[in-house]
Structure 1
Amino acid sequence: MRILHTSDWHVGRSFHGASTLAHLEDVLLTLAQQVVERRVDVVLVAGDIFDTGMPSAESYAMLGRVLARLQATGARIILTSGNHDSPARLGFLAEFAALAGVHILADPTRLDTPIELEDEHGTVLLYGIPYLEPALLRHRYPEQTLRTQEDTLRFALARIRADLAARPPARSVLAAHCFASGASGGDGERDITAGGVESVPLDVFEGVDYAALGHIHGRAVLAPHLRYSGAPLHYSFSEAGKPRGSWLVDLGAHGVEEITWLDLPIPRPLSILRGTLAELLADPAHEAVREHWISVILTDRVRPVEPMRELQKRFPHAVTLEHEPEHLEAITEGGYAGRVRERGDAEIMAEFLGFVRNGEGPNAQEQAVLAALIAQENNEAIR
């Protein structure tokens, strides 16, 4: 049996205010092509299907198109809910979707009820663990101690292992959405600890042939049978340069035989540019990244006026800007009273401008304006 492990689609998420729906749909349709080309039997999506618990109509429509394309390949589709999803909304009409081979596993009370599939070697049991919020789960099982994410995952795996033990020997695969020890995901996942998503030890996942994890947005191999696929799109500049894709898992008669990484296309790469505004606007080397998502770090001594407007004339997809001057003027020690003692108004204003502009005092035009205002001390403008 051949399984494609993907996760963290985050349908509806924006990238610094720009919609990602069109790019994500293109990438997921490419994934559907890979399913056909690689003769995939099962597509396993490990949580965070949507980016919010209240998806837009456009997000639902896009997901519907993608699932229809995947279902048309003949593969079984298994989706679990993540901490960004609303289990009720994601699982709406799940029973009807299952009739078409699209299985939405968002009910925590059924996490030990697997999807049963057969291949030439026998049965494969596929378990989906929806994101388990300890505070929302413990009232269902008051006899259990469910204070942390580790508690809930240990409880879930104990139930799954008990179900496995009660059945004839079979190969097993599970999908879970959590932050496992040793994983590193940058800031692509915005709320790494929100809602109880704390670190879960790797020994929690013992007893299954393969664990398809979601929540971290970069690929990671924590153990041969325990992996993150990461998100299909870049959702943070911390992910710049990192591949996007999924794991192709081949199950043989006795478990996992081979795991292969499949790259996905990157519709708009991420680039981080550093330099003065003049350098960034003039350097021909930057033409190669003109259509990338751009994060800019300006090194001008003084922050230019409206730099983003100028940058977007050359880089239309520049979305973030920081000012980190290479030279920082030393701050004068002493209190304000000492610095202004025996100084005239023009000197005080010049020092103030130099203080707030990293050592660059008033230019000739500004000096003339200051002098004119000071000369008209009783003028309304001064007051």
Structure 2
Amino acid sequence: MRIIHTSDWHLGQYFYGKSRAAEHQAFMAWLLEQITLHQVDALIVAGDIFDTGTPPSYARALYNQFIVQIQHTGCKLVILGGNHDSVSTLSESRELLACLHTTVIPGAFDRVSEHVMPLHNRQGEVGAILCGLPFLRPRDIVLSESGESSSDKQHKPGEAISQLYQGCFAHATELNTSLPKPVPIVATGHLTTVGASTSESVRDIYIGSLDAFNANLFPAADYIALGHIHRAQVVAKSEHIRYSGSPIALSFDELTSQNEAQKSVFLVEFVDTKLAQVTPLMVPMFQAMQVLKGDLDSIAQQLSTFEDKHATEQTTWLSIEVSQQDYLSDLQSRIADMSQEKAVEVLQLKRAKSQRQQHIKQLDNETLSELSVNDVFARRLAQEQFESEAQQAQLSRIKQRFSQVVSEVEAEMLNQDSAASHILHESINAKREQEGQAS
């Protein structure tokens, strides 16, 4: 039995205003080639097939096109809902796609048995049993009860997820005993596990108060295919528990030090009932992306190595992090002048974090009592970038609004002080009158 594990396609994503449609289409064509080349029996997409709950029409078209094209490979398709996916959007075509050898599990079902199903190989035999769990929303698994302590509420989501996994695994084990010969059990999930390495494009998800699931609570499945984390990785040093990662880089920080995305899908092979091997199939980079770091001279030198835009049709998307701020006021225009003749597009321009951190470190010994309200506000603004005309206009509005708020607060405090002084004065006079009457 051969399975390809992938996740986090995020069809419909716009990357700093750039569509990823061409990259996704190229990835799908490449993936279909891999399915045919390796004679894959089932493809599992472990959540976040779309980037939003209301994907654009072209993203839906890519989705439907892929489902039609995979029919020619003889490979079964399983799609799990993720935290970016809309349950209703995935559900609307679920029954129709079932006629095309495609199983869609958009959200939690009412019965555990609905999450457990056989996966057939190319010979039509049951090659594995799937415990298909999508992203689990709090309302799907947790019910509030009166009298619960904060500790009970904190532990309840993790226990509920664990119980659901164990229930699915128990049902799969029972189904396995009814087969002529046992087959491997594969589980899925779309969640954050303890210790997983995230990236900027990963949205924090909480199930109730749970921010990360303990991998020790997973059932004893032969392979656990996870989604949500965009970096491919092994979980808890267990070779059979893995995140496949996203097939294309969804943020610049997902690029490696060699400025290559190094994205992959996992080819999972079973022999009899045992996991034989997991092979990363490296996904080509369909859109060139790079991160440039250094001072302005270094950035200029790095930009000079790119081809002129008239000499090539391929454009590289850039993130530039400048470590030297001598020309902060016109940094954006300087970078634009350096790059305008090169086959690049600067999608992100920022200053080095180390500078902000060093500046903050220098202020560690200061206390609020040493600073005025305006000092604190100015220090906070200094940590942001306001370089373009629109950003400068925004900065002006922020400063104006801040001055108004400070003035309103000061006026209110002055009125309160005046009222308190008046009350105190009346109290003193009343006391004096009482003392005079007593004497």
TM-score over 0.5 (shorter chain): yes
**Greater shift after overlay, 253-262 or 280-289?**
280-289
Of 240, 257, 266, the residue aligned with 2:255 is: 240
The question of 1:229 aligning with 2:244 is answered yes
Q: Cα distance, 1:238 vs. partner?
A: 1.2
Provide the rounded CA distance (Å) in 2 between the counterparts of 1:106 and 1:140: 24
User: Residue by residue, what CA displacement relative to the aligned partner does 1:146-184 show, whole Å, maximum 9, x if unpaired?
Assistant: 866523421221221221243214421122101112211
Is the 2:141–2:161 contact (alpha carbons within 8 Å) kept by the matching residues of 1? no
User: Residue by residue, what CA displacement relative to the aligned partner does 1:312-338 show, whole Å, maximum 9, x if unpaired?
Assistant: 41353211111349899999xxxxxxx
Equivalent residues, number = 331
The question of 1:132 aligning with 2:159 is answered no
SS of residue paired to 1:297:
strand
SS of residue paired to 1:180:
coil
> Could you say if the C-alpha distance between residues 157 and 58 of structure 1 is closer, same or farther in structure 2, counting changes exceeding 3 Å?
same
SS of residue paired to 2:242:
strand
Is the 1:271–1:289 contact (alpha carbons within 8 Å) kept by the matching residues of 2? no
Q: Cα distance, 1:274 vs. partner?
A: 2.3
Q: Cα distance, 1:197 vs. partner?
A: 6.3
The question of 1:2 aligning with 2:2 is answered yes
Provide the rounded CA distance (Å) in 1 between the counterparts of 2:209 and 2:335: 38
Provide the rounded CA distance (Å) in 1 between the counterparts of 2:119 and 2:254: 36
Provide the rounded CA distance (Å) in 2 between the counterparts of 1:296 and 1:323: 8
- The letter for the 1-side match of 2:130 is L
Q: Cα distance, 1:294 vs. partner?
A: 0.8
Q: Cα distance, 1:293 vs. partner?
A: 1.9
- The letter for the 2-side match of 1:309 is A
- The letter for the 2-side match of 1:293 is W
Provide the rounded CA distance (Å) in 1 between the counterparts of 2:188 and 2:198: 18
- For residues 203-222 of structure 1, the aligned pairs below 5 Å read 203-222=216-235
Equivalent position of 2:19 in the other structure: 19
Equivalent position of 2:189 in the other structure: 176
User: Residue by residue, what CA displacement relative to the aligned partner does 1:31-52 show, whole Å, maximum 9, x if unpaired?
Assistant: 1110011110100000001111
Provide the rounded CA distance (Å) in 2 between the counterparts of 1:204 and 1:6: 22
What percent identity do the matched residue pairs reach? 27
**Greater shift after overlay, 116-125 or 19-28?**
116-125
Provide the rounded CA distance (Å) in 2 between the counterparts of 1:321 and 1:111: 49
User: Residue by residue, what CA displacement relative to the aligned partner does 1:239-291 show, whole Å, maximum 9, x if unpaired?
Assistant: 11241111101111122111111011111233221234455345566327983
Larger radius of gyration: 2
For structure 2, the 5+ residue unaligned runs are 310-314, 364-381, 383-439
The question of 1:295 aligning with 2:319 is answered yes
SS of residue paired to 1:200:
coil
SS of residue paired to 2:344:
coil
RMSD: 3.2
> Could you say if the C-alpha distance between residues 140 and 197 of structure 1 is closer, same or farther in structure 2, counting changes exceeding 3 Å?
closer
- The letter for the 2-side match of 1:89 is T
**Greater shift after overlay, 2-11 or 90-99?**
90-99
SS of residue paired to 2:306:
helix
Q: Cα distance, 1:207 vs. partner?
A: 1.9
Equivalent position of 2:436 in the other structure: none
SS of residue paired to 1:108:
coil
